[in-house]
């Protein structure tokens, strides 16, 4: 039971960018009305956090994989490596999403002079 709760907690924490980053709120090809501010996230803090946490998870997965190959290694180390690696992939996807959205926000704001 403790493992399930721990796994759910880790998975629920993945993806700062999915939660904290918003892309531009205008449809492609349309112009905002004069005086309207384009509401989106320019800060790359959330994607950077995703990269750091994903890298840490990847190192954890590699460590668990190395432990699973030892003769006296833990019997579930291979499964742990797979689970931790999957979480690292989720962080990577979230980081890519965040960097894409923040770049689009900066591009649109520059295009419309904001």
Per-residue pLDDT in tens (0 to 9) along the chain, 114 residues:
556 556 555 555 667 888 889 988 876 667 777 777 888 899 999 999 999 999 999 998 888 888 777 776 556 777 888 888 888 999 999 999 999 999 999 988 888 776
pLDDT at 30: 72
> Going by C-beta distance under 8 Å and a sequence separation of 6 or more, which residues neighbour residue 19?
46
pLDDT at 109: 86
Between CA 78 and CA 63 the distance in angstroms is 10
pTM of the predicted model over 0.85: no
């Amino acid at each position: 039971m403790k493992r399930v709760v721990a796994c759910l907690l880790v998975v629920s924490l993945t993806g700062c960018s999915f939660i904290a980053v918003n892309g531009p709120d205008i449809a492609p090809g349309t112009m905002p009305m004069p005086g309207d501010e384009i509401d989106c996230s320019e800060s790359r803090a959330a994607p950077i956090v995703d990269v750091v946490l994903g890298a840490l998870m990847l190192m954890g997965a590699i460590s668990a994989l190395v432990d699973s190959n030892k003769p006296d290694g833990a019997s579930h180390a291979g499964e742990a490596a797979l689970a931790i690696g999957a979480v690292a992939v989720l962080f990577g996807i979230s980081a890519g999403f965040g960097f894409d959205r923040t770049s689009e926000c900066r591009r649109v704001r520059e295009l419309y002079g904001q």
